[in-house]
Amino acid sequence: MSTRLSKGGRLIDRQKAVEFSFNGKTMYGFAGDTLASALLANDQMLVGRSFKYHRPRGIVASGAEEPNALFNMGSGGRFEPNQRATTTELFAGLQVASQNHWPSLEFDVGAVNNWLARFLPGGFYYKTFMYPRAAWKHVFEPIIRRSAGLGRAPEGYDADRYEHAYGFCDVLVAGGGLAGLEAAMEAGQSGKRVIIMEQTAHLGGRDAAGDLVKSITQALGKLDNVQMNLRCTVAGVYDHGYVLVDEKVADHTPGDGRPKHRLWRIRAGQIVSATGAIERPLSFAGNDIPGVMLASAVRDYVLDYAVSPGDRTVVVTNNDDAYRTAFALKDAGLAVPCIVDARAEVSGDLAAKARSMGIRIEVGTGIAKVQGGKRVTGVSLCLQAGEGAILEEIACEAVAMSGGWSPVVHLWSHCGGKLIWDDAQGHFRPDPKRPPTGHSGAAMVHCVGSANGDHLPAVEPVWIMPQGAGVALKSKMWLDYQNDVKVSDVQLAAREGYESVEHTKRYTTLGMATDQGKLSNINGLAVLAGALNTPIPQIGTTTFRPPYTPVTFGSLAGESRGEIFQPLRRTPIHAWHETNGAYFEPVGLWRRPYCFPQAGESHDQAIEREINNTRSNVGLLDASTLGKLIVRGPDAGKFLDMLYTGVMSTLPVGRCRYGLMCNENGFLSDDGVVVRLDEDTWLCHTTTGGADRIHAHMEDWLQCEWWDWQVYTANVTEEYAQVAVAGPKARALLEKLGGLDVSGNALPFMTFATGLLGNLSVRIYRISFSGELSYEVAVPASFGQELWDTLLDAGAELGVMPYGTEAMHVMRAEKGFVMIGDETDGTVIPQDLNLDWAISKKKTDYLGKRGQERNFLARPDRWKLAGFETLDGSVIPDGAYIVAPGHNANGQRNTQGRVTSTYRSPTLKRGIAMGLITGGMDRMGDVVEFNTVAGGTVKAKVVDPVFYDKQGAKQNV
């Protein structure tokens, strides 16, 4: 049976039939239909089962607030659960299946729960299945787990792709209805850059076909500074004008090669929320039977899609707006047996028009009960102020209900906007005196149109029907359709002491479904207020959290899946390393050359050759992976003084300084060379794996604690390639290229210079991590390979040779340079590593200072850094501990320290190690024992951790 009307349907194209299937049954719709309108056109009133009682459920709404019509959609690699029919555009070949039933939608054995409803009241989850514990674990828990959830999780690999996009604008308009279009026009004509995000496939909202909408849309299309996007839902608004938008790119055209979804990250100067309002249901017995719908939804289906939910529709309301639905039904040739109006008096133009059209109006009346099971067959009327006595019964196939309208205030509330109760219209609306504010303190979000409560009808404060009914009758009235929360559940919560709406929400699961309470929350808190005899504003609202509607995991992940779930990071010189046989090691997400073995060489032999060559000739290290963070602004020096243990604000322009960073507890978190580029700009080098983490650390403190400091940070790690040129012939190599003066006088240790090196524009730092004469040369990333090739060609006669990370580690250990991540493990402070010299004695504060003053960290018997040489020249095993006399309570030997770095030194021809030991350098000369994997020990002498060129003569030439 089809319920498609012969006329109307402003959003459908009757010339384009579309075939789809529902539960394996072939059905037909038109281009422009939503899945919901197509199902109604095929007279499919029953679409699913409720979560708890498995009651029959039908389509209630026409938009994102729909709680019932959730389907498993697609198959194989395009299978998705919980897809909302009201926001899914119909397309050829669409396959959907209803959820939460067995063995079939029409006959569901889970419906037995409906007969057990008296044993499953609100809060039964918390009261039942707790004792005896054995019964819970072995009997109840498996049943609950099998019953939990809606739909089923996809099992196959997602066949679609997703992408992320970024945008910037002066004004972002969320919602393309008439109010949003007018706001966009005003901003666009003033020259501002405007982005409109509309969640449906049409601009104009319920006025999509109006002449005014068409004229405004055409005018906006002529403005180059205005961008209009369809199928885009503004999912969340965050601090500093950060907006997240989910765009459905190819949801309705699967497999066409485009990404299925696009996740937009937008920075906006101002956000205009033109998100409209949502009509609320009324609570009466049987208000969940398929065919009971929101009055606005009935109107949408009739006008937009030429779909009739039934030949005879009873309208029940507490406000004027529902009368427009009655008019639309009559104009479509359908019957409206009665408008049931709960208000004691009804007057005005709409009521007069209804009577002139021959529509019967019953005032002061409510619905006692909806008749029917899997679809509406009629209604029983009663006095709204009475006890539910039946006045008469009216046959009908649909009920159009309207309990008033609630502005969509989610985006206003996401970042702190407050609400105020409107008694006349019966809803919470934005409080203009308490808006969400931006960095400047000005309002960041502005609500317009019905999202601001404008032009919405006044309502009678009616939430349940009839008002005087007893608990037995109220138990059949539904608030949350998906979670099966009844009026009586909320009243029970009130009797049991849950006076906070947030507590009631969790106790009853009200509003915790996929629609996030868009239909149920206001009604629920009104019922709670009534049960507590408390004004609604004092009850408050639940918290509106993003996203506004569910966002698929695919959108959030974007391209981060499969092989690029965590994309490998490669330097600009990576291809050369691969071609020349580099053996790579993972360092965070980077792949760095561990060594460059030649034919017939083991890795150990390659490392020894690289070290010996660098110590005697010149070596090249790809140091592009080192973190590079720009810190700029009038307060940048003050900021860095708080982050580092040393003073960075006094660093002269053109100079470099080693710096340590600690966390709030005083433990070392990173280190690196800080460079003063100009009066307001510093460049902070970090460890390879620390760039993203330290940048986030900086932003965290700037946004949360020092938000009024004028500091800008940027991670520029991948913008530059950087090559370390180390060894006694390093200066000769650079001088051979010509350009910058790199002599000891012109470029002394811990300085930098900018200029030309050969034909390349470079920045050269005179720093060393090898203990040799060393320069680090930085160029824009696109010139990284050219720099590397130039150095190799020019250095051929000087014995130039690349070296990898392991040679770098050995050489730094020979010099006694500590390595964050090797010498540290999250429990080490600078003082443990003899780095007191890097802690300013002048500063009164820095991050971690107070932590380091705690008794535990300041006590003298902490393990501290020292060097170790084995008596037999062997290499101490990695991870070895220094044993101490005696055993602990578990029979294990006591320890007094551990090794942190251990290598065979090609320079010294023996094993060397650094480690932490009780007493540290005060123990020099002592002989200690390290345990071995085999169960024995190896003896070593405590020595100075600087094994090579202690005076630094080689690096300072």
Q: HEC string of 44-113?
A: CCCCEECCCCCCEECCCCCCCCCCCCEEEECCHHHCEEEEEHHHCECCCCCEEEECCCCECCCCEHHHHH
Three-state SS for 823-888 is CCCCCCCHHHHCCHHHCCCCCCCCCCHHHHCCHHHHCCCCEEEEEEEECCCCCCCCCCEEEEEEEC
Cβ-Cβ contacts under 8 Å for 14 (sequence gap 6 or more) = 30
What's the whole-number average pLDDT of the chain?
92
Q: What is the dihedral of CA 311, 312, 317, 322, to 10 degrees?
A: 40
Report phi then psi at 628, rounded to 5: -135, 110
Q: Give CA–CA dist 647/466, Å, rounded.
A: 74
Q: Give CA–CA dist 802/617, Å, rounded.
A: 11
Q: Which two tokens stand for residue 70?
A: 């959730």
pLDDT score of 125: 63
Closest Cα to residue 43, out of 308, 232, 300? 308
Identify whether the C-beta of residue 95 lies closer than 8 Å to the C-beta of residue 74.
yes
Average pLDDT in the 606-631 region?
98
Residue type present at position 489: D
Strand partners, 267: 168, 242
Dihedral sign computed on CA atoms, order 59, 64, 67, 68: positive
Identify whether the C-beta of residue 627 lies closer than 8 Å to the C-beta of residue 688.
yes
Q: Give CA–CA dist 457/350, Å, rounded.
A: 12
Closest Cα to residue 714, out of 731, 695, 735, 727? 695
Q: Report residue 133's pLDDT band, with 50, 70 and 90 as the boundaries.
A: low
Closest Cα to residue 555, out of 248, 241, 258? 248
pLDDT at position 134 over 70:
no
Q: Give CA–CA dist 86/56, Å, rounded.
A: 18
Q: Which two tokens stand for residue 624?
A: 């592009």
Strands (E), 157-312: 162-174, 194-197, 226-229, 232-238, 242-248, 261-273, 277-279, 292-294
Q: Which two tokens stand for residue 406?
A: 């609630």
Q: Report residue 204's pLDDT band, with 50, 70 and 90 as the boundaries.
A: very high
Max Cα separation, the chain? 110
Report phi then psi at 762, rounded to 5: -135, 165
Alpha helices by DSSP H, listed for 283-422, are 295-305, 322-331, 349-356, 410-414
pLDDT tens-place string over residues 387-402 = 888 999 999 999 999 9
Q: Give CA–CA dist 387/396, Å, rounded.
A: 23
Average pLDDT in the 186-195 region?
97
Q: Give CA–CA dist 706/700, Å, rounded.
A: 9
Q: Give CA–CA dist 868/921, Å, rounded.
A: 11
pLDDT score of 126: 62
Q: Work out whether strand 485-486 and strand 478-480 pair parallel, antiparallel, or are unpaired.
A: antiparallel
161-175, 436-450, 641-655: least confident range: 436-450
- The vertex-871 CA angle with 865 and 875, nearest 5°, equals 70
> Within a 10 A sphere around the Cβ of 109, how many other Cβ atoms?
11
pLDDT tens-place string over residues 272-310 = 999 999 999 999 999 999 999 999 999 999 999 999 999
pLDDT score of 440: 65
Order of strands, sheet of 292-294, starting from the edge strand that comes earlier in the sequence = 292-294, 398-402, 313-317, 339-341, 361-363
Residue type present at position 259: P
Average pLDDT in the 926-942 region?
93
Report phi then psi at 497, rounded to 5: 100, 5
> Within a 10 A sphere around the Cβ of 728, how many other Cβ atoms?
16
- The vertex-799 CA angle with 796 and 804, nearest 5°, equals 100
Strand partners, 279: 405
CB-side exposure of 290: number of CA atoms within 13 Å? 23
Closest Cα to residue 264, out of 229, 240, 290, 302? 229
Strands (E), 687-827: 712-715, 720-726, 752-757, 760-765, 774-780, 800-802
Q: Which two tokens stand for residue 248?
A: 């459905």
pLDDT at position 55 over 80:
yes
Q: Report residue 774's pLDDT band, with 50, 70 and 90 as the boundaries.
A: very high
Q: Which two tokens stand for residue 495?
A: 């009797």
Q: Which two tokens stand for residue 281?
A: 């249901």
Q: Report residue 139's pLDDT band, with 50, 70 and 90 as the boundaries.
A: low
- Coil/strand/helix, residue 261: strand
Closest Cα to residue 264, out of 226, 299, 237? 237
Q: Give CA–CA dist 791/800, Å, rounded.
A: 8
Cβ-Cβ contacts under 8 Å for 701 (sequence gap 6 or more) = 639, 642, 643, 847
Q: Report residue 349's pLDDT band, with 50, 70 and 90 as the boundaries.
A: very high
pLDDT tens-place string over residues 712-766 = 999 999 999 999 999 999 999 999 999 999 999 999 999 999 999 999 999 999 9
Q: How many helices (H) and strands (E) does the chain have?
A: 26, 47
Strand partners, 632: 681, 712
Break the chain down into helix, strand, coil percent, rounded to 5.
25, 30, 45
pLDDT score of 806: 97
DSSP symbols for 500-527: SHHHHHHHHTTT-STTTTTTTHHHHHHH
- Coil/strand/helix, residue 5: coil
Q: Give CA–CA dist 591/581, Å, rounded.
A: 14
Q: Give CA–CA dist 446/175, Å, rounded.
A: 12
pLDDT at position 110 over 80:
no
Q: Whole-structure pTM over 0.95, yes or no? A: no
Identify whether the C-beta of residue 8 lies closer than 8 Å to the C-beta of residue 306.
yes
pLDDT tens-place string over residues 232-271 = 999 999 988 999 999 999 999 998 999 999 999 999 999 9
Q: Report residue 2's pLDDT band, with 50, 70 and 90 as the boundaries.
A: low
- Coil/strand/helix, residue 285: strand
pLDDT score of 202: 94
Q: Report residue 361's pLDDT band, with 50, 70 and 90 as the boundaries.
A: very high
Question: Which helix (H) or strand (E) element contains residue 708?
Answer: none
Q: How far is CA 503 from CA 280, 428, 539, 541, 543, in A?
A: 22, 20, 11, 11, 12
pLDDT tens-place string over residues 142-178 = 666 666 667 788 888 899 999 999 999 999 999 999 9
- Coil/strand/helix, residue 630: strand
> Within a 10 A sphere around the Cβ of 741, how many other Cβ atoms?
11
Cβ-Cβ contacts under 8 Å for 759 (sequence gap 6 or more) = none
Q: Report residue 501's pLDDT band, with 50, 70 and 90 as the boundaries.
A: confident
Strand partners, 897: 882, 917
pLDDT score of 692: 95
